């Protein structure tokens, strides 16, 4: 495997030149033909498949992922996503035809064209560095945009591989990857882009929006949620099934997932048996000593490890499972903390680590619990485990969140044709498949007029007898 690289140092002028070059290329119209876009998506797909092993190696280096997990969560979904775009793009990009209406007579036809924004900026995170870079870039390309990419400096191995990858597959006037830290990200945000897509934390999302506002640049944000994602386990839930799925999800990427379960609310009536099932599920899936299991991922940096370990130590007296780590490898065991009050600070912010606070509640008071969740910042995901489908359906249709599952976790992300999005502190905008195409295009309405049969309804005079008959006609048209 090739050695990883020294991060380049960029100046404002260099990044400005990259953006200017891409804008010049976009203005040639080269990215507009749908056939050309499909060719680029096919090229991207072939390159992803060819470089899959390099991506998997980089994910092992950055996050300690097993190859199976790397393919399941990063490489495989990209191929599926691009396939959907290749199959659907011609239909999505087709101009819409509308009847102009009697008020617009003699015009008969109005078209809606789906136009790319132009030069887009994609700022990707460290937790799924391949998926959340290439997947978003594919959506931007599908929409007919050029792309400047700013990857995370934390996942340096993945950034190194992707920098070589994009440079080998596409010319820089079409797709360019810029590496570096927060200072480089700010240099990018100082440029005038036509669209910005950011994935990361709410605090940085606010900064991205503030910078974008200086140029009135439209922004899409995919954020983790200020107060985290709730999982509610009711008294009538299948406890073994719930525990098995929750354990799998919390082990995935060591909890470093924006849609992961931040805290569990479990009915007091079944809290003890549920915790026993959860402990057994963790042990069955990852073994007695997860720190020695090569398949168990690590936290991204020592700083992330220290933050996790410090918070675990604050709740040391309530840890009922796990609570151990190894700073050298940056691995921290899945850790159950019980009982936790709904107002404690550990459930007031996104954790992004293997800690799992459990909040007991009276099952009869579940609606009060849901009111408390609704009063906090909107989560990116919500998960309910119950046999009461009437309650579950009503709850899912009245709460505000990005997406979620009933008696399942996370796989709503894998359904074709549906959006992935957040709301409020968990984001804005949406993508995946056609929704990604929509996010990176602007609908432009064009009415086709006529030089014949034009009535003087809209023209002066508006008074006298002429005005009277004009008003009568207008009211008739508006029926």
Catalytic residue list: 222, 258
Instruction: Tell me the C-alpha distance between 340 and 248, whole Å.
Output: 22
DSSP states along 429-442:
-EESTHHHHHHTEE
State the DSSP string of 379-415: PSEEEEE-S-HHHHHHHHHHS--SEEEESS-SGGGG-
How many other CB atoms sit within 10 Å of the CB of residue 112? Answer: 14
What whole-number distance in Å separates Cα of residue 438 and Cα of residue 103? 29
Give the CA-trace dihedral at 58, 160, 435, 184, to 10 degrees: 130
Q: Closest Cα to residue 134, out of 84, 77, 179, 189? A: 77
Which residue's entry shows tokens 């990200």? Answer: 185
Closest CA relative to residue 260, chosen from 358, 374, 399, 382: 382
Residues in Cβ contact with 447 at an 8 Å cutoff, skipping those fewer than 6 apart = 100, 104, 107, 109, 110, 111
Beta strand 420-421 pairing with 430-431? antiparallel
**3-state SS, residue 340:** coil
The SS3 assignment for 121 reads strand
Q: For residues 381 and 402, give the distance between their C-alpha atoms in angstroms, rounded to a whole number.
A: 5
| 330 touches 305 (CB < 8 A) | yes
Whether residue 22 contacts residue 195, with contact meaning beta carbons closer than 8 Å, is answered with no
């Amino acid at each position: 495997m090739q050695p990883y690289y020294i991060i380049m140092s960029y100046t404002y002028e260099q990044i400005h030149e990259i953006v200017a070059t891409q804008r010049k290329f976009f203005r040639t119209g080269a990215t507009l033909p749908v056939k050309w876009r499909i060719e680029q998506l096919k090229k991207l797909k072939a390159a992803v498949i060819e470089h899959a092993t390099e991506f998997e190696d980089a994910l092992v280096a950055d996050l300690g992922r097993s190859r199976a997990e790397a393919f399941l969560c990063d490489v495989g979904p990209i191929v599926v996503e691009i396939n959907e775009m290749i199959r659907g793009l011609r239909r999505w990009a087709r101009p819409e035809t509308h009847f102009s209406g009697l008020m617009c007579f003699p015009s008969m036809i109005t078209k809606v064209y789906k136009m790319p924004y132009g030069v887009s900026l994609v700022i990707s995170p460290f937790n799924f560095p391949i998926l959340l870079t290439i997947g978003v870039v594919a959506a931007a390309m599908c929409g007919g945009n050029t792309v400047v990419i700013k990857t995370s400096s934390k996942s340096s191995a993945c950034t190194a591989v992707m920098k070589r990858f994009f440079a080998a597959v596409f010319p820089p006037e079409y797709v360019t990857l810029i590496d570096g830290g927060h200072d480089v990200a700010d240099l990018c945000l100082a440029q005038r882009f036509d669209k910005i897509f950011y994935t990361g934390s709410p605090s940085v999302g606010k900064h991205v929006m503030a910078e974008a506002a200086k140029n009135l640049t439209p922004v899409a944000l995919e954020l983790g949620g200020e107060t985290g994602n709730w999982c509610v386990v009711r008294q009538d839930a299948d406890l073994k099934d719930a525990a098995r799925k929750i354990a799998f999800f919390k082990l995935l990427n060591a909890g470093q997932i924006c849609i992961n379960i931040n805290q569990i609310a479990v009915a007091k009536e079944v809290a003890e048996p549920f915790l026993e099932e959860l402990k057994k599920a963790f042990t069955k899936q990852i073994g007695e000593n997860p720190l020695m299991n090569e398949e168990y991922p690590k936290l991204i940096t020592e700083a992330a490890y220290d933050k996790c370990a410090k918070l675990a130590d604050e709740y040391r007296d309530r840890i009922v499972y796990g609570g151990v780590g190894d700073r050298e490898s940056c691995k921290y065991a899945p850790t159950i903390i019980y009982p936790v009050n709904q107002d404690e600070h550990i459930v007031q912010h996104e954790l992004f680590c293997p800690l799992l606070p459990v909040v007991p509640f009276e099952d009869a008071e579940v609606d009060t619990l849901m009111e408390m969740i609704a009063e906090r910042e909107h989560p990116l995901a919500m998960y309910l485990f119950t046999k009461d489908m009437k309650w579950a359906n009503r709850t899912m249709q009245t709460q505000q969140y990005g997406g979620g599952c009933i008696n399942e976790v996370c796989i709503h992300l894998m359904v074709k044709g549906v959006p992935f999005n957040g709301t409020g502190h968990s984001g804005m905008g949406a993508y995946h498949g056609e929704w990604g195409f929509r996010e990176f295009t602007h609908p432009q309405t064009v009415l086709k007029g006529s030089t014949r049969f034009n009535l003087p309804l809209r023209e002066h005079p508006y008074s006298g007898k002429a005005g009277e008959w004009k008003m009568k006609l207008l009211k008739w048209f508006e029926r």
